[in-house]
């Protein structure tokens, strides 16, 4: 149980285009979903926290207009990188949690590797 999927696993796009990444909780309804960014050999950096039906809460320094987050249902959240540039190249990971779980731990998707040319 507690499986989170992400799609696509990796994507290469041209500079200036937009890329959408989907995060789905497959066998549970997620109270909260999180989006992280990870640079090589570094820890996870929280970008935003999103609850179904409400606007995402972005961390300081994360551009809301560049990283659009939509949490349309209890099982789906999307991250759209708008007008992507090479500096947006990174590993993006989503996670989901459900209130009242054993440890309220975050269940992670497998990640999406984005390369912007």
Partner 1 sequence: AQKITQTQPGMFVQEKEAVTLDCTYDTSDPSYGLFWYKQPSSGEMIFLIYQGSYDQQNATEGRYSLNFQKARKSANLVISASQLGDSAMYFCAMREDDSNYQLIWGAGTKLIIKP
Residues forming the site for partner 1 (CB under 8 A): 31-32, 34, 41-44, 46, 49, 57, 91, 93, 95, 97, 99, 102-111, 113
Q: How far is the CB of 16 from partner 1 (least distance, A)?
A: 26
Q: What are phi and psi of 94, to 5 degrees?
A: -110, 160
Radius of gyration of the chain (CA): 14
How many residues are present in the chain? Answer: 117
For the CB of residue 81, give the shortest distance to partner 1 in the complex, in Å.
Answer: 18
Nearer to partner 1, 2 or 68 (CB): 2
Name the minimum Å distance from CB 109 to partner 1. Answer: 8
For residue 64, the 8-state DSSP code is T
Which residue in 41, 29, 114 sits closest to 72, CA to CA? 29
């Amino acid at each position: 149980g507690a499986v989170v999927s992400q799609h696509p696993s990796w994507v290469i796009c041209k500079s200036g285009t937009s890329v959408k990444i989907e995060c789905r909780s497959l066998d549970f309804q997620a109270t909260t979903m999180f989006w992280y960014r990870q640079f090589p050999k570094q820890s996870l950096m929280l970008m935003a926290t999103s609850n179904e039906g409400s606007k995402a809460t972005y961390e300081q320094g994360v551009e809301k207009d560049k990283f659009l987050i939509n949490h349309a249902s209890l099982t789906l959240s999307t991250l759209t990188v708008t007008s992507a540039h090479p500096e947006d190249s990174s590993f993006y990971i989503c996670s989901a949690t459900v209130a009242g779980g054993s440890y309220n731990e975050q269940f992670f998707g497998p990640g999406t590797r984005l390369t912007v040319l």
